[in-house]
Homo-oligomer: A and B are copies of this chain.
Amino acid sequence: MLTVVRKSLASLGLQLQLNLLARYKSTQDVKNALIILAPGAEEMEFTISADVLRRGKINVTVAGLNDCEPVKCSRSVVIVPDTSLEQALSHGNYDVVVLPGGLAGNKALMNSPAVGELLRCQDSNGGMIAAICAAPTALAKHGIGKGKSITSHPDMKPQLKDHYCYIDDADVVQDGNIITSRGPGTSFDFALKITEQLSGVKVAEEVAKAMLWTYKS
Contact = CB atoms under 8 A, between A and B. Distances in A.
Nearest to A191: B44
A47 B77 contact: yes
Interface stretch (A9-17, A113-121, A177-185): A177-185
23 contacts: A42-B51, A43-B50, A44-B47, A44-B51, A47-B47, A47-B48, A50-B77, A51-B75, A51-B77, A54-B75, A55-B75, A70-B70, A70-B80, A78-B79, A79-B79, A183-B210, A183-B211, A183-B212, A184-B212, A184-B213, A185-B212, A185-B213, A186-B212
Q: Taking the full assembly, how many copies of this chain does it contain?
A: 2
Which of A42, A43, A52, A70 is packed against the most chain B CB atoms within 10 Å? Answer: A43
Nearest to A133: B212
A130 interface: no
A87 to B, nearest CB: 16
Given A184-B212, A185-B213, A213-B185, A48 B55 contact: no
A61 to B, nearest CB: 11
Interface in A16-55: 42-44, 47-48, 50-52, 54-55
Contacts of A98: none
Contacts of A185: 188, 208, 211-214
A62 interface: yes
A166 to B, nearest CB: 15
Contacts of A184: 48, 51, 188, 211-213
